[in-house]
Amino acid sequence: MSTDDKNRAIAAAILPLVGGAENISSVAHCMTRLRLGLRDRSLVRDEALKALPSVMGVVEDDTYQIVLGPGTVARVTPELEALVAAAPKAAPTAPSHDADDLAAHGAALKAAQKAKNATPFKLFLRRIANIFVPLIPALIGCGIIAGLNGLLINLGWLPGVTPALAAMASGFMALIAVFVGYNTAKEFGGTAILGGAVAAIIVFPGVAKIDAFGQTRSPGQGGVLGALGAAILAVYVEKWCRRWVPESLDVLVTPTLTVLISGLVTIFGLMFVAGEISTAIGEFANWLLANAGAGAGFLLGGLFLPLVMLGLHQALIPIHTTLIEQQGYTVLLPILAMAGAGQVGAAMAVYLKLPRNGSIRRTIKSALPAGFLGVGEPLIYGVSLPLGRPFITACVGGAFGGGFVGLFSMLGDTVGSTAIGPSGWALFPLLDGNKGLGETIAIYAGGLLVGYLAGFVATYFWGFSRELLEEFNVDTETAPAELTVATGGGTPTKAPETEPEPAKV
């Protein structure tokens, strides 16, 4: 049997065990796994799949993943795609455009995009995100306490308590490099505590006594970027020691050499380099918003959601953290939060444009509260992205909201966030800036309103083609007979769907 015939046979054996071609909504693969978007998970015969000689195992995630191994999966995937495309289609039925079908289409798009994002660079960014994401709860808690403390100081209230609140708010940030180093070593396969030990050198007050190449080191110089680099270096030194140090001496020699070598490189090299990079990031962000704030805000607010879908937004996490460490807040997050405002405005326009589609309208009503609080996935993957053009007009709304906030940065009113993670209305308790709190809140609220309005207007007037409107503005609940067929046992069930087509735009 030729190689092509073998791969075709593997695909043919897999297809009926996952419910047939009509049960597959998307096909993709990564290095080792065939990733399938399925319409009905219950149709999959797991044990029969695992029994196939070519199948090494199955994994359930956002997609149903069949482990075939490197090389094999890249050859089997196109054969399966060909079989799915050539399979007889179900008898034509009235198209169903209720919320469940739209959500299934959105889930398939999300799964396909996630599979595409499994490139080495994006996987590296995901690892960087895994280092900082566990720190977000502490950043939020300390950020809110810092905001409360600032309010009490401005009002002159509780002077005996504010020093304690300041210690609570600042303690974590003073040692954040240690936590970054710990998480970095853990993420990259080293001993976590050794990563933390090396990173602790950066914040140790005694480094102020060290003269390196004519320059005195400062505690905290290099910040989280220096901690990140120091811990990654420690991991590589540790792994080298594990290979070459005899087992009898490993427990003594390996940790000693890891801290010694990584520590010296950190003190005499990484702290300076990372410090220069951190300073440049802060200066560039401030310069950009001060000189081109409206344009920069427009681009950042409009492109943020596409960056999220491409997995590139994770590169912003260490930048946010560096800005918070330097200035006490990140000036980028309030602008990026406008992307969610555009989604909310677009969803409200979709609600009005589809008065007959009760299913989609119910989905929007249930997802809007989360959208106002900055949780946009239900609206993105359940409404705007599957429809196509409304996703683009929602990004337009985010662009105008970001441009509004950026414009005030040009006028000297900086709006920032003391933590990362929250968005939408949930960001209000974390707001900070170079002016009074009331003015900062007013600018951010104005940006949200502009984002809502621009997203609504763009979607209402340009978010639907005539064909798209005719296709989706239908009553999905008045003709259930057209949407059901009888199974072998005579029980009416929803008709099998063909491969969902992208929404017409």
Active site (catalytic) residues: 30
Quote the Cα angle for 387-389-395, to 5°: 110
Q: Which residues pair with 35 in a beta bridge?
A: 28, 65
Distance of CA 384 to the CA centre of its chain: 17
In the block, tokens 């509260």 appear at 369
- Please say whether the beta carbons of 301 and 401 come within 8 A: yes
Asked if 202 and 227 count as a contact pair (C-beta separation under 8 A), the reply is yes
Are 133 and 186 in contact, with CB atoms under 8 Å apart? Answer: no
Collapsed DSSP state (helix, strand, coil) of residue 58? strand
SS3 state of residue 468: helix
Rounded to whole angstroms, how far apart are CA atoms 409 and 407? 5
Residue 27 contacts residue 90 (beta carbons within 8 Å): no
Cβ-count burial of 162 within 10 angstroms (0-12 exposed, 13-18 middle, 19+ buried)?
middle
Q: Which amino acid is at 6?
A: K
Residue pointed to by tokens 């047939």: 20
By the 8 A CB rule, do 476 and 98 touch? yes
d(CA 393, CA 215): 52
Asked if residue 318 lies in contact with residue 225, where contact means CB atoms within 8 angstroms, the answer is yes
Burial class (CB in 10 A: 0-12, 13-18, 19+), 225: buried
Contact 33, 66 (CB under 8 A): yes
User: What span, in angstroms and rounded, lies between the C-alpha atoms of 414 and 472?
Assistant: 43
Q: Please count the residues of the chain.
A: 505
Buried b (16+ CB within 10 A) or exposed e, 26-36: bbbbbebbbbb
Of the candidates 318, 310, 398, which has an alpha carbon nearest to the alpha carbon of residue 114?
A: 310
Cβ pair 397, 423 in contact under 8 A:
no
Q: Is 291 exposed, middle or buried (0-12, 13-18, 19+ CB in 10 A)?
A: exposed
Cβ-count burial of 489 within 10 angstroms (0-12 exposed, 13-18 middle, 19+ buried)? exposed
Contact call for residues 364 and 103 (beta carbons, < 8 A): no
Residue 342, CB-side half-sphere exposure with 13 Å CA sphere:
35
User: Which residue matches tokens 């900082």?
Assistant: 132
